[in-house]
Amino acid sequence: MYPEGMRRSSAFFAVVVMAACAGQKPKLYPNEQYKQAGPETADKDIKECMTEAKHFVKANRLSPAAEKTAWGAATGAAMGMVLGLITGDLEGAVKSGAAMGAVGGAAAGAHAATKPDELERVFTERCLAEKGYSVLGWR
């Protein structure tokens, strides 16, 4: 039903998306609040702040992965159109270009998805600061 290359692209995309699910989270400085709360409570507070950030920031917006996939497909289709004009197989080249662009865009989007959105990161850090924690960085 689908060409072999399309099936391989779909499998690659699935692996990339699964890898993206292991995103970054804040790492806390062991200040007094952290020492009093302990690692389990601190992790619970991190998850709570990150959830609040997602709900606050992500209202009615495409994910970075979806944005990059769409952009990659459009770019690939345009490149395929140029190739199709040169080779004479316009339809095939546009389809192949769009598929390859979508896979490339999805990979870039999945990589971007492993990093928190800038507003989510700032929101999460502020939420944790209000709870008394100090964020060292993200991993």
Alpha-carbon 8 to chain mean position: 21
Q: What is the pLDDT of residue 115?
A: 65
Residue 22, CA distances (Å) to 109, 112, 133 in order: 14, 12, 23
Residue 93, CA distances (Å) to 3, 13, 70, 96 in order: 14, 21, 18, 5
Q: Where are the domains of the chain?
A: 24-138
Q: Is the pLDDT of residue 130 over 50?
A: yes
* Per-residue pLDDT tens over the stretch 68-121: 667 777 777 777 777 777 777 777 766 777 676 766 666 666 555 556 688 899
Q: What is the pLDDT of residue 18?
A: 45
